[in-house]
């Protein structure tokens, strides 16, 4: 068979936007109360999605879950990919679209009103699965779920038991992840350690309990050899801040993942400061200070729809500050007392 050397160029000229139908495989996952359909011609991208979301408890929120569609497109390798980490994502919006752009070959375009997103990645990004998953794919999932389900997006963690949860807030480095890990190891249900999404009317909280991220020095508080191996043998990731952490897969059977959304029963601001009295770690936050502390802790969420009813409900519940004790398990005991 004789090939026409101009065929490829002609095809590109006739379909410059890549709109023509391609053979796509798809997979569906129940995530954060929504049904997400991922479609791609790239098996490698779908494998990355499956690694992120397979095996999670299928959280559902009232009313019935809508369907979200995310198309993932793989481009050829960049001629000169960056030697260090990829460039940070730059946000843009307009004409009802939201965009997150790393560069011309790696970006996300979201249409929240249509519950759809396009994730584009270059083949070399498959060598950086953490950045590809966390900054492009999860960005699309979290943003669509937040806008499509009317959730308040929070930077924080959440643990609980018997359907009740405690929201853990605080600055990066305050110890939220370590506390969430030890809560899991001490028998509490693990909902999320980095991002929590709350339905403001019901105060039902959901998240993605796929990984926990802890620094190496947190292992000194882990006595169980099997748990130490589980974390110590996990891949290491590097945050944009430069902090390196283990990324341990929570679906390997260590502890219990929250099987359903947790109804928030309390809020705790986690502090890196040691308690004056190691037997008294919790102190109530005065009611008149809760709103200001909450807004200062969550600058992005405080500007989103649903914030004011959420804030009012959390003021009614009350808040505590948690300082460090002798061992993280002492902080877990304090959370248990709040849960009743």
In the predicted structure, residue 5 carries a pLDDT above the cut 60: no
Quote the pLDDT of residue 98: 98
Tell me what pLDDT residue 21 has.
57
pLDDT (average), residues 273-299: 95
pLDDT grade, residue 66 (50/70/90)?
confident
Mean pLDDT lowest among 14-28, 56-70, 233-247, 261-275: 14-28
pLDDT given at position 35 = 95
Per-residue pLDDT at 2 exceeds 80: no
Look at residue 1 in the predicted model and tell me its pLDDT: 40
Closest CA to 208 of 138, 110, 263, 152: 138
pLDDT, residue 159, reads 98
Strand boundaries in the chain, DSSP class E: 25-31, 34-40, 67-75, 90-94, 97-103, 106-111, 116-122, 152-155, 157-161, 164-169, 189-192, 195-199, 204-206, 211-214, 236-238, 244-249, 256-257, 262-274, 282-284, 319-324
Assess whether pLDDT exceeds 80 at residue 10.
no
Residue 187 DSSP label = T
Which residues, other chains included, contact 245 with Cβ-Cβ below 8 Å and sequence gap of 6+? 177, 213, 214, 215, 236, 237, 239
The predicted pLDDT at position 19 comes to 72
Mean pLDDT computed over every residue of the chain: 93
> 325: helix, coil or strand?
coil
Q: Mean pLDDT over residues 181-202, rounded?
A: 96
| Most distant pair of Cα atoms in the chain: their distance | 83
Which pLDDT does position 340 carry in this prediction? 86
How confident is the model at residue 84, as a pLDDT? Answer: 84
Strands 189-192 and 204-206: unpaired
Domain ranges of the chain: 22-149, 153-339
96-142: pLDDT as tens digits: 999 999 999 999 999 999 999 999 999 999 999 999 999 999 999 99
Residues 6 or more apart from 188 whose CB is under 8 A from it? 159, 160, 161, 256, 332, 335, 336, 339
Kindly state the percentage of the chain with pLDDT values over 70: 96
Helix axes 328-339, 176-185, angle to 10 degrees: 70
3-state secondary structure of 205: strand
Residue 4 pLDDT > 80: no
């Amino acid at each position: 068979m004789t090939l026409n050397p101009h065929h490829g160029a002609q095809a590109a000229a006739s379909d410059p936007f890549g709109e023509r139908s391609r053979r796509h495989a798809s997979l569906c996952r129940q995530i954060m109360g929504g049904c997400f359909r991922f479609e791609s011609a790239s098996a490698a991208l779908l494998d990355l999605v499956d690694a992120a979301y397979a095996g999670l408890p299928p959280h559902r929120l009232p009313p019935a879950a809508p369907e979200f569609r995310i198309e993932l497109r793989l481009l050829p390798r960049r001629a000169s990919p960056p030697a260090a980490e990829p460039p940070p994502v730059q946000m843009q919006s307009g004409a009802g679209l939201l965009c997150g752009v790393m560069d011309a070959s790696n970006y996300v375009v979201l249409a929240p009103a249509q519950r759809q997103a396009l994730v584009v990645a270059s083949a070399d990004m498959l060598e950086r699965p953490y950045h590809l998953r966390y900054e492009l794919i999860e960005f699309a999932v979290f943003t669509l779920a937040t806008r499509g389900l009317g959730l308040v997006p929070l930077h924080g963690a959440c643990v609980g038991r018997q359907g009740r949860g405690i929201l853990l807030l605080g600055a990066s480095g305050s110890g939220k992840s370590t506390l969430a890990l030890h809560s899991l190891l001490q028998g509490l249900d693990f909902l999320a350690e980095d991002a929590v999404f709350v339905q403001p009317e019901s105060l039902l909280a959901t998240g993605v309990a796929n990984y926990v991220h802890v620094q190496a020095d947190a292992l000194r508080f882990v006595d169980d050899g099997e748990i130490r191996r589980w974390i110590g043998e996990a891949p290491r990731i590097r945050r944009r801040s430069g902090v390196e952490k283990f990324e341990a897969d929570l679906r390997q059977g260590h502890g219990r993942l929250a099987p359903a959304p947790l109804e928030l029963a309390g809020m705790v601001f986690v502090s890196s400061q040691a308690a004056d009295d190691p037997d008294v770690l919790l102190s109530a936050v005065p009611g008149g200070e809760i709103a200001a502390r909450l807004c200062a802790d969550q600058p992005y969420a405080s500007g989103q729809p649903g914030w004011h009813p959420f804030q009012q409900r959390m003021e009614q519940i009350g808040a505590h500050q948690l300082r460090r004790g002798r061992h993280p398990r002492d902080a877990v005991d304090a959370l248990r007392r709040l849960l009743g």
